[in-house]
Amino acid sequence: MHNTHPQFIVLLGPPGAGKGTQAERLSGALAIPTISTGEMLRQEGRSGSLLGAQIQTLLDAGHLVSDELIQKVVAQRLAQPDCRQGCILDGFPRTATQARFLDQLLAKMGFGAPIVFDLAIAPEELVARLSLRRQCPLCDRTFQVLPGAIETCPHDGASLVPRPDDAPETIRRRLRIYADHTSEIVRFYQNRGYHRINASQPADHVTSKVLGILGNAPAGTNGLKRPVPASQHLSALSPVAH
């Protein structure tokens, strides 16, 4: 399924809401790339550029990267040929300042404002969902393990381990931080191109809803491969870096 006009999509949602899963599905359905801020910063840091050196110094010291540096990286990435038909932004913008920058950048490129999907899910459901996550210590892939599952990585056979940041109290703290930092950007987008999606539904229902809103598929269908059956006990999740 390919889009016929450029579509720039912003995915909002707390850790564990399924942004990575939806970004991967939408990227395949719309034939546009997914752009993760964390991944972009790491790639730029390894690039050897002057900008990359600045970013790597901050990352190595554990400091936050400034709006100015993030915006430079985003501008460079969106200028690449594979973004001519749009892209999916996961992790950017995070502030109203970044959102205004994105509007201005897209306008300069001749595009309209982005479409925003806010994946909403109850905090206690997120705690339950994330407490079932396990990570492979070798390949860093993250999985959600159902009760009774054999907790080994299907890619390299290593024993899966709990993520340190998935302890219930840690999750609740991360959710509070997320809520505090995103209320501003939700207010910025709320009256234009903003869609709140119930992310507690099965992943393919969420994908279907998003594609229906985008006008690329009727509600209830998504044209994608079916997910791994629950009977297989192990389902891959995209790593959550924010």
Residues that are catalytic: 19, 94, 133, 163, 174
Q: Look up residue 31 and give its DSSP letter.
A: T
* Residues 74, 99 contacting (CB under 8 angstroms): no
Q: In what order do the strands lie in the sheet with 34-36?
A: 34-36, 86-90, 7-12, 115-120, 194-198
Tokens 């001749």 sit at which residue?
110
Residue 208: is it exposed, middle or buried by C-beta count within 10 angstroms (0-12/13-18/19+)? Answer: buried
CA–CA dist 23, 116 (Å, integer): 12
